[in-house]
Structure 1
Amino acid sequence: MSTFLLASDIKRFTASSSSATSLLFSSRLRASTTSSSRTSASRFFTALQPRQRSYISASSSLRNIHREGGQIVPTDQPPCPVRTRPAIVYRDCLSRGTVQTAGDFNVQKDIEELHKAFKSADDKVITEILSRRTNEQRQVIAKAYEEKYNTNLHAELQVDLSEPYRKAVSGLLEEPFIFLAKHVRHTLKSSALAHKDVPLLEILYPLEPQEVDAIVQAYKEEYNQELEEEIGKQISGVFKDILIRLVTGKRSTHRKVDVPQRNKDLEYLRNNTAERLQSADDDVIRIFGNSSLPQLSSIFLNFDKAGGCTLQEFIRNSGMEARSKEAFGVMVKSVYNRTGFYADQLHMAIKDISSGNDDKLMRIVISRSEIDLENIKDFFQSAYSHTLTDFVYDDTSGDYRNLLLRLVGM
């Protein structure tokens, strides 16, 4: 595992990150060298092809990358092996999920116990089984359940269960990209959201192009509509153009940084006002809509070398309107430090629970539980001085709380 951790990378990371992030990375480094079990295949890059869709060509687009504190950074080291598994898309060798494959998985036993639990609305049994199974195993359970009892598991959720709990269990039973496609749909159709660009960027921008493509295909399959057209109807301005680039596959999948182009883009960003960045400028749309994630990470990492401030600070202190600051902030942080981005998103989501909005909390916990939720938890504790478990326990209740606590790894 140490072949992925270059001394020059660690030095650069330490110089450009907060002390909390550096501590987190150090703890990951120690963990990677002290436990041989953590080099197992469960930590390798994985590819998802639910329902036998041709969503992803797993080996064609993955090259030599690793992540520094959530950043995607190209290396000359060999990549982790690739394997196929229907629950997760891509994760690097330092990513740690909270939900692992159940080694004692017995589908017949699970469906019989679930059948009894649904009849008696026994949320404890439902939680114990579904929170301890990967999405791939849940799909096996759902199929076997329907074959044996001639009813869909989603239909069984109409028993006497609380609404938040029912929604969370339903989310666990969805295939991952359908789950995210439904959250995209909810965002687009929500009358409570005056502006939908920032919430959509929160969902889509941190993801690999192949992941976004899978969501687009799932959206079309579920709703018989093109996501590009829906975005075009609901959103305007520069962020509409960037989102359309993402959902139409315009973001590059190259893993190697184009250094000359990066330098040109850096010069452009440094020499333009923040106000111009929020206009529908072709170069802004190209940089943020077409550049690969490693390319963007390199741009953001190198922005402060001449200007003396990071791109995040430049945006935050600019004269941009508040919504543009928020949108650009999402794009920059979700690439520059994905782990920290999701930790911040969870913190905001928990604060929103009091207003009756727990969709973001549910989406992140479920969608990241098999990928990197352990890493996110570590960063969360470093940033907010309390564990994610503490926050979830204090701000949720009942069966919903118990399910979330199981998923976050209590």
Structure 2
Amino acid sequence: MGKPTVTPCSPFDPVEDSKALKQAFKGFGSDEEAIINIIAKRTNDQRQQIAKEFKTMYGKDLIKELKSELRGNFEDVIIALMTNPVEFQAKQLHKSISGLGTDEDTIVEILGVHNNNEVIAIREVYEGLYQTSLEKDLKGDTSGTVKRLFVSLATGHRDESEATDKETAYKDAQTLLRAGELFHGTDESTFNAILCQRNRSQLRLIFDEYEKLTDHCFETAIDNEFSGTAKDTLMDLIKCIRDRIGYIAERLHKSMDRIGTDDRTLIRLVVSRSEIDLGDIKEVFEEKYGKSLADFIRDDTSGDYKKCLLEIVG
């Protein structure tokens, strides 16, 4: 089990929390501090209970109330916290597909980080929300190698046994070598099949066997055989397979290590990992970048948005 940064609040009283939130909305402007103290310090399950209680007590939808009270990135992080985690990921996928251009980085992150059951749940909620299949939208928005990779990942059908076998890893490494670097042209479907079907532990073994056969890492093969978006997407998937925590830490770093912060990625990862493994991600982040995740957030964000993120990160 990973280390969460947000754990159940105890004692917990959704009635008192609802009253405090109603009070926070009174008067000119809202009491952001009070909103952060309640919403950022409860688990998603507890927030759902507060939302139900709030509606029962006041006949109002808490999310709509928050949206009318708050603005900007602070509103986005609070609404992300209030949204059911599966629904949140489905909405993030939809934004990545339906926006101007496709956000392949986010799509591979969501489909690569989650396990089969989670991917299937996200896919089903997506279809309920948008009355269209995730596969259809992915096919309509991407092409070639990237399209096939996303469609395969969206099936949520990867082997999850974590059983490893050196002999089959060696054979798969040979197959990949023959499908790519040994021939003129690339048999992309072979790369797709192996990277989307094998369990993560077996894939790490395949990468090791590939390196023994070629004297260079598997990523070099991807670099040699693919280009553009296909190369970038495959590289991201391989990073995620090799080390999920390290990959998320890198995504967080990239969201802030630029001119202008990628707030959508920052919010998504901080909120969605807070009850799972954000504690582990924080440790790896600091090891990799020599500065804490909290310090990056302090330097890159401002106001109530910053306060809220720091509260979640801990």
Q: Provide the TM-score with structure 1 as the length reference.
A: 0.71
The aligned counterpart of 2:254 is 348
Q: How many residues align?
A: 312
Question: Does 2:289 align with 1:384?
Answer: yes
Pair 274,105 (structure 1): closer, same or farther in 2 beyond 3 Å: farther
The separation in 2 between residues aligned to 1:107 and 1:277, in whole angstroms, is: 64
Q: Residue 282 of structure 2 contacts residue 292 of structure 2 at CA under 8 Å; is this kept in 1?
A: yes
The aligned counterpart of 1:46 is none
The separation in 1 between residues aligned to 2:160 and 2:49, in whole angstroms, is: 32
Deviations 1:130-181 (A, max 9, x none): 1111111111111111111111111112334231111111110111110000
The aligned counterpart of 2:93 is 184
- Equivalence map 1:238-277=2 (5 Å): 238-273=145-180
Deviation at 1:207, TM superposition (A): 1.6
Q: Residue 20 of structure 2 contacts residue 34 of structure 2 at CA under 8 Å; is this kept in 1?
A: yes
Question: Does 2:207 align with 1:300?
Answer: yes
Amino acid at match of 1:323: T
Question: Does 2:117 align with 1:229?
Answer: no
Q: Residue 176 of structure 1 contacts residue 367 of structure 1 at CA under 8 Å; is this kept in 2?
A: yes
Question: Does 2:51 align with 1:145?
Answer: no
Deviation at 1:313, TM superposition (A): 4.4
Q: Residue 74 of structure 2 contacts residue 305 of structure 2 at CA under 8 Å; is this kept in 1?
A: yes
Structure in which a larger fraction of residues adopt helix: 2
217-226 or 249-258: bigger deviation:
249-258
Deviation at 1:279, TM superposition (A): 5.2
Q: Mark the runs of 5 or more structure 1 residues left unpaired by the alignment.
A: 1-91
Q: Residue 245 of structure 2 contacts residue 281 of structure 2 at CA under 8 Å; is this kept in 1?
A: yes
Pair 152,286 (structure 1): closer, same or farther in 2 beyond 3 Å: same
Pair 360,324 (structure 1): closer, same or farther in 2 beyond 3 Å: same
Deviation at 1:355, TM superposition (A): 3.6
Please tell me the root mean square deviation across aligned C-alpha atoms, in Å: 2.2
What is the percent sequence identity of the aligned residues?
30
Q: Residue 333 of structure 1 contacts residue 341 of structure 1 at CA under 8 Å; is this kept in 2?
A: yes
Amino acid at match of 1:387: S
- Equivalence map 1:109-128=2 (5 Å): 109-120=16-27, 121-128=30-37
273-282 or 156-165: bigger deviation:
273-282
Pair 257,278 (structure 1): closer, same or farther in 2 beyond 3 Å: farther
Pair 350,369 (structure 1): closer, same or farther in 2 beyond 3 Å: same
Aligned to 2:132, what secondary structure does the other structure show?
A: coil
Amino acid at match of 1:346: L
Pair 275,230 (structure 1): closer, same or farther in 2 beyond 3 Å: farther
Q: Provide the TM-score with structure 2 as the length reference.
A: 0.92
- Tell me which of the two structures has the higher relative contact order, counting C-alpha pairs closer than 8 angstroms and 6 or more residues apart: 2
The separation in 2 between residues aligned to 1:373 and 1:139, in whole angstroms, is: 21
Deviations 1:213-265 (A, max 9, x none): 11101101211211011111111111211211122233223332344432221
Deviation at 1:272, TM superposition (A): 4.3
Amino acid at match of 2:164: V
Deviation at 1:380, TM superposition (A): 0.8
Q: Mark the runs of 5 or more structure 2 residues left unpaired by the alignment.
A: none
Question: Does 2:245 align with 1:339?
Answer: yes
